[in-house]
């Protein structure tokens, strides 16, 4: 395998972004892999599973050149992903595409975005003429607020919430998301978020949060920090439908029907309604968000569900980006 470490400089601030490039020689096409919500390493390691490492190796074996990078502040990359913001992350990804075009010499260059990486894939396709195809893996297509609320509905169902308990949980979730998305002043947003999270745990005791947290206050501090990360607001305000409609190159979308990060059936239906005749979608049976064979699709089973990015996913990607 012709695999080597690579490094480029961010056009935004000059920091080093490190990655891996796998070149089969005389490549049929080249692809950049874009991971989900970060910070992520180049393998997109989750629960010890390395989806992008597996996918890169399989695409390489099919004659596809593959580049994948550590996010800022991860592995060999400098900087701080959580302090960057979406414009900087998009600029980093654009620089990675530029490098791949030059290095591979391929006329066909695709971007493969997994989970939230799919949104950045669509944005790259809109701004870069060198990108000739897009693949979305486990993507959210509906507006961000609707997607996040659907995730909370799925979570409520999995936790067995019903009746008033379910309604209160979803009401707190919507109020929290509205505060994050629509309060522009950072200090006011923090105050509103903290108040909503405090209200959501009213009546809880320290014992309710142990051993994962030291108690209520520790949980609240964590939850507030997590809610105020830039990715959350970016996702809530995102409009993947608008991005998709503006893309003029072919887009392939793939989901597994065991995905518990998105409602795969509904997201596919939305994609098909706006995708157009040049695009295509597939729902694969028995595969989860990492495209592992899974009984439950739950995140806590990733570590035991075996190999990710199973066939036919790599075959479908190879066919799409070379077509």
Average pLDDT over residues 165-185: 97
Burial 164-201 (b: 16+ CB within 10 A, else e): eebeebbebbebbbebbbebeeeeebbebbbebbeebb
Is residue 262 pLDDT above 60, yes or no?
A: yes
Residue 53 token pair: 């490492």
Residue 1 has pLDDT above 60, yes or no: no
Is the bond preceding residue 312 a cis peptide, omega within 30 degrees?
Answer: yes
Residue 140: pLDDT above 90? yes
Q: Residue 235: what pLDDT?
A: 97
CB 306 within 8 A of CB 48: no
What mean pLDDT comes out for the span 27-32? 98
Average pLDDT estimate for 107-132: 97
What is the C-alpha R_g of the chain?
Answer: 20
Helix, strand, or coil (residue 299): helix
Give the per-residue pLDDT at 161: 96
Average pLDDT over every residue of 277-302: 96
Average of pLDDT values for 167-187? Answer: 97
Domains with residue ranges and CATH for the chain: 3-143+239-322 (3.40.50.1820), 145-234 (no CATH)
Q: Please give the share of the chain, as a percent, with pLDDT higher than 70.
A: 100
Q: Give the tokens for residue 321.
A: 């980006």
Please state, rounded to an integer, the average pLDDT across all residues of the chain: 96
- Can you tell me which residue has the tokens 């795969």? 264
22 pLDDT more than 70 = yes
* CA 101 – CA 106 distance, rounded (Å): 6
Work out the number of other CB atoms within 10 angstroms of the CB of residue 302.
20
Look at residue 276 and tell me whether its pLDDT is greater than 80: no
pTM to 2 decimals?
A: 0.96
Q: What is the pLDDT of residue 173?
A: 97
Q: How far apart are the first and last CA of the chain?
A: 24
pLDDT range class, residue 179, cuts 50, 70, 90:
very high
> If DSSP codes are grouped into helix, strand and coil, which group holds residue 230?
helix
pLDDT tens-digit map of 196-245: 999 999 999 999 999 999 999 999 999 999 999 999 999 999 999 999 99
The residues pairing with 32 across neighbouring beta strands, listed in sequence order, are 67, 111
pLDDT at 274: 86
Q: What does the pLDDT average to over 96-115?
A: 98
- 44 CB-near residues (< 8 Å, 6+ apart): 33, 35, 36, 50, 51, 52, 68, 114
């Amino acid at each position: 395998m012709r695999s080597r470490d690579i490094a480029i400089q961010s056009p935004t601030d000059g920091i080093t972004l490190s990655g891996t490039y796998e070149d089969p020689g005389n490549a049929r096409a080249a692809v950049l892999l874009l991971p989900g919500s970060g910070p992520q390493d180049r393998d997109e390691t989750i629960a010890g599973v390395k989806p992008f490492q597996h996918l890169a190796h399989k695409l390489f074996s099919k004659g596809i050149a593959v580049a994948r990078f550590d996010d800022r502040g991860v592995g060999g990359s400098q900087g701080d992903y959580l302090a960057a913001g979406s414009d900087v992350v998009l600029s980093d990804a654009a620089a990675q595409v530029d490098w791949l075009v030059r290095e591979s010499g391929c006329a066909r260059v695709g971007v493969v975005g997994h989970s939230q990486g799919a949104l950045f894939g669509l944005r790259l396709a809109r701004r870069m003429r060198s990108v000739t195809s897009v693949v979305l893996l486990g993507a959210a297509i509906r507006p961000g607020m609707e997607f996040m609320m659907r995730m909370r509905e799925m979570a409520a169902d999995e936790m067995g919430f019903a009746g008033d308990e379910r309604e209160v949980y979803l009401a707190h979730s919507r109020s929290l998301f509205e505060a994050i998305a629509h309060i522009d002043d950072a200090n006011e947003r923090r105050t509103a978020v903290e108040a909503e999270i405090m209200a959501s745990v009213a009546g809880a005791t320290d014992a309710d949060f142990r051993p994962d947290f030291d108690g209520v206050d520790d949980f609240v501090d964590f939850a507030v920090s997590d809610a105020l990360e830039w990715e959350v607001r970016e996702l809530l305000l995102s409009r993947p439908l608008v991005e998709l409609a503006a893309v003029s190159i072919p887009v392939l979308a793939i989901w597994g029907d065991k995905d518990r990060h998105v409602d795969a059936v509904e997201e596919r239906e939305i994609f098909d309604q706006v995708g157009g005749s040049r695009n295509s979608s597939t729902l694969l049976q028995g595969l989860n968000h990492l495209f592992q064979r899974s009984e439950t699709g739950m995140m806590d089973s990733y570590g035991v569900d075996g190999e990710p990015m199973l066939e036919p996913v790599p075959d479908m990607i190879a066919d799409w980006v070379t077509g």
